[in-house]
C-alpha cells in the first residue's frame, strides 16, 4: 500500500478499467477501513491484514481460485457462443440468405435498443436473435429468452416483471423478472403478438422509462436491456385489427428483419441437409452421407410449410432410421409434393389463405371476393355462382367491403 510508485488499489483500478479478469487478494500491513471498502468496491476477492493465519490464507486463495476458474469457464462459453452464433450461422448460398447475413452483420454492429424479427414459423427467428446478441454490442451480457405463447397470460406478467413475496397467492419469495435478469444484455420476446393489451401497455412503459416495478413492489428498478421481439404474425396487420398496440409496435420496430420462408430459398437445401445430416449422424453414431437424385427431387418439390424446422425434423428422422450410408427416402414422409401458392397469390382456380393470424376473417372474405370477381372479369352473377351464393348476397358484400367489380 505504501510503495513509492503507487499502491495496489490504484493498480487494481487500472486493471478493472482494462477489463482484465482474475481474482485479486490484497495482503498488507498498512490497511485501513477506507482502503478495504475501496478494494471491495473495485471487486477484490478479499482484503487481509498482516499478520494473517496461514490456514485462513489457504482458504481464501482456494476460494479465489475456484471463482477464477468459474469466470474462465463462463468466458470460454461466451467465446464459444460468439463463434457459434456469428452471421455466417445463417447458412445457405441463396440470394435471400446472403441478404439476411448482410443485414445481420450491419445490425450487430450498431447499438439498437429494439428490433422486430418477422417471418413464418420455423424460419429461424430464434437463431437470428442469438446471432444479433452474441455478435452484437451486448454479447458480454446475458441473453434471456421467453416464448410468450407458451405461458398463461396471468403468469406472463410475473415472469417478465417479477414479483415480491406475498404479491399474490403462492408468491412465497421474491422473484426477479426476466427484464431484470437480462440487465446489460438482451431480452428476446418470441411470439410477442400473443400477449394481452394490458401487458403490452406495461411493457411499453418499461421500455420507454428503462425501469420496471415488480408485482407488489414499491420502488422502480432501473434496467438497461436490448429488446428483440419476434412473431410469425403480421404485427402491422394486428395493429390495424386492434389486437396489438400501435405505440408499442412503433417503439419496438426500430428496425424490422423479415426472414424468408424455405420455399423462397430452395438453393439452400443442399447445404442445410448436409449440415443436419452431419449433426444427427454424429449424435446417432451413423455415417449417412449419400443422398440420391430422387431424394433431392422430393426435397425440392415439397412446399415446406414448416420451413427449416420441418426440414431439420425430416433429416433427423431419416438419419435415425437409416441402415447404411444412404439417405432413406421412405422416411421423408413429406406427403403430397405440391408446392402451394404463397399467401396473397392465386392461380385462377385456387387460393391459399394463411391461418397464422395475419389475416382476419373479414380480410379472408374480402380477399376471396376480390379473386372471384377477378376470375369472372367483374361479372357479378358469374362470381356469385362460383361462390355458391346469390347475386344479392354478393352485392351486399361488395358494398360492405367497398369493392369495385371492375
Lowest-confidence range among 54-58, 87-91, 143-147, 358-362? 358-362
Q: Of the candidates 81, 114, 136, which is a domain's last residue?
A: 81
Residue 330 to residues 193, 295, 315, 338, 388, Cα–Cα distance (Å): 38, 9, 12, 18, 41
Both 289 and 384 in one domain: the answer is: no
Both 25 and 90 in one domain: the answer is: no
Both 138 and 254 in one domain: the answer is: yes
Q: What is the pLDDT of residue 349?
A: 61
Report pTM.
0.66
Both 229 and 112 in one domain: the answer is: yes
pLDDT at residue 318 is higher than 70: yes
Structural domain that includes position 70? 8-81
Cell numbers standing for residue 233: 404474425
**Is residue 14, in this structure, part of any structural domain at all?**
yes
Burial of 57 (0-12, 13-18, 19+ CB in 10 A): middle
**Is residue 355, in this structure, part of any structural domain at all?**
no
Instruction: For Cα atoms 332, 336, 337, give the angle at the middle one, nearest 5 degrees.
Output: 80
**Is residue 316, in this structure, part of any structural domain at all?**
yes
Q: How many domains does the chain have?
A: 4
Both 231 and 289 in one domain: the answer is: no
Q: What is the pLDDT of residue 81?
A: 67
Q: The domain that contains 75 carries what CATH number?
A: 3.40.50.2300
What number is the average pLDDT over the span 47-71? 90
Q: What is the pLDDT of residue 338?
A: 42
pLDDT in tens, 319-354: 999 999 999 999 988 864 444 445 555 555 677 777
**Is residue 178, in this structure, part of any structural domain at all?**
yes
What number is the average pLDDT over the span 366-374? 86
Q: The domain that contains 202 carries what CATH number?
A: 3.40.50.300
Both 100 and 208 in one domain: the answer is: yes
Q: What is the pLDDT of residue 71?
A: 79
pLDDT at residue 49 is higher than 60: yes
**Is residue 346, in this structure, part of any structural domain at all?**
no
User: Cβ of 172: how many Cβ atoms within 10 Å?
Assistant: 8
Q: The domain that contains 382 carries what CATH number?
A: 1.10.10.60
- CA pair distance 135, 116, nearest whole angstrom: 17
Both 18 and 101 in one domain: the answer is: no
**Is residue 352, in this structure, part of any structural domain at all?**
no
Residue 404 banded pLDDT, cuts 50, 70, 90: confident
**Is residue 34, in this structure, part of any structural domain at all?**
yes
Both 278 and 205 in one domain: the answer is: no
Both 297 and 380 in one domain: the answer is: no
Cell numbers standing for residue 268: 439452400
pLDDT in tens, 239-254: 998 889 999 999 999 9
pLDDT in tens, 170-209: 778 888 899 999 999 999 999 998 898 999 999 999 999 9
Only one residue has cell 457459434, namely 84
Both 219 and 366 in one domain: the answer is: no
Question: What ranges make up the beta strands (E) of 132-225?
Answer: 143-147, 162-163, 175-176, 186-190, 211-212, 221-222
Both 237 and 178 in one domain: the answer is: yes
**Is residue 150, in this structure, part of any structural domain at all?**
yes
Maximal C-alpha separation, the chain: 103
Q: Of the candidates 81, 105, 139, which is a domain's last residue?
A: 81
pLDDT at residue 103 is higher than 90: yes
What number is the average pLDDT over the span 299-313? 92
Nearest to 188 by CA among 142, 255, 254, 119: 142
Lowest-confidence range among 156-165, 283-292, 310-319, 354-363? 354-363
Both 310 and 374 in one domain: the answer is: no
pLDDT at residue 41 is higher than 90: no
In the chain, the percentage of residues whose pLDDT exceeds 70 is 93
Q: Of the candidates 258, 291, 318, which is a domain's last residue?
A: 258
Amino acid at each position: 500500500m505504501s510503495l513509492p510508485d503507487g499502491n495496489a488499489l490504484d493498480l487494481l483500478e487500472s486493471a478493472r478499467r482494462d477489463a482484465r479478469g482474475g481474482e485479486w487478494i490484497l495482503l498488507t500491513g498498512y490497511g485501513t477501513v477506507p482502503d478495504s471498502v475501496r478494494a471491495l468496491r473495485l471487486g477484490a476477492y478479499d482484503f487481509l491484514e498482516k499478520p494473517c493465519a496461514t490456514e485462513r490464507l489457504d482458504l481464501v486463495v482456494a476460494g479465489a481460485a475456484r471463482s477464477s476458474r468459474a469466470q474462465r469457464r463462463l468466458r470460454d462459453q461466451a467465446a464459444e457462443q460468439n463463434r457459434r452464433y456469428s452471421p455466417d450461422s445463417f447458412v445457405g448460398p441463396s440470394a435471400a440468405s446472403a441478404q439476411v447475413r448482410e443485414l445481420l452483420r450491419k445490425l450487430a454492429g450498431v447499438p439498437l435498443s429494439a428490433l422486430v424479427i418477422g417471418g413464418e414459423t420455423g424460419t429461424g427467428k430464434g437463431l437470428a436473435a442469438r446471432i444479433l446478441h452474441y455478435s452484437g454490442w451486448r454479447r458480454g451480457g446475458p441473453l434471456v429468452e421467453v416464448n410468450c405463447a407458451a405461458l398463461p397470460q396471468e403468469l406472463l406478467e410475473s415472469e417478465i416483471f417479477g414479483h415480491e413475496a406475498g404479491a399474490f397467492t403462492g408468491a412465497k419469495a421474491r422473484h426477479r423478472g426476466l427484464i431484470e435478469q437480462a440487465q446489460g444484455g438482451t431480452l428476446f420476446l418470441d411470439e410477442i403478438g400473443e400477449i394481452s393489451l394490458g401487458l403490452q401497455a406495461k411493457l411499453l412503459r418499461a421500455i420507454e422509462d428503462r425501469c420496471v416495478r415488480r408485482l407488489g413492489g414499491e420502488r422502480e428498478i432501473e434496467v438497461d436491456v436490448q429488446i428483440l421481439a419476434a412473431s410469425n404474425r403480421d404485427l402491422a396487420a394486428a395493429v390495424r385489427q386492434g389486437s396489438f398496440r400501435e405505440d408499442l409496435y412503433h417503439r419496438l420496430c426500430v428496425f424490422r428483419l423479415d426472414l424468408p420462408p424455405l420455399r423462397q430459398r430452395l438453393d439452400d437445401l443442399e447445404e442445410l441437409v448436409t449440415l443436419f445430416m452431419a449433426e444427427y449422424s454424429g449424435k446417432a453414431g451413423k455415417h449417412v452421407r449419400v443422398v440420391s437424385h430422387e431424394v433431392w427431387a422430393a426435397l425440392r418439390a415439397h412446399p415446406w410449410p414448416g420451413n427449416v424446422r420441418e426440414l431439420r425434423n425430416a433429416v433427423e428422422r431419416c438419419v435415425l432410421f437409416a441402415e447404411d450410408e444412404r439417405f432413406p427416402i421412405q422416411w421423408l414422409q413429406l406427403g403430397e409434393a405440391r408446392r402451394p401458392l404463397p399467401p396473397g397469390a392465386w392461380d385462377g382456380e385456387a387460393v391459399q389463405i394463411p391461418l397464422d393470424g395475419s389475416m382476419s376473417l373479414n380480410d379472408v372474405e374480402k380477399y376471396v371476393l376480390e379473386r372471384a370477381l377477378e376470375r369472372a372479369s367483374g361479372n357479378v352473377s358469374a362470381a356469385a355462382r362460383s361462390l355458391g351464393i346469390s347475386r344479392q348476397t354478393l352485392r351486399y358484400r361488395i358494398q360492405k367491403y367497398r369493392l369495385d367489380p371492375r
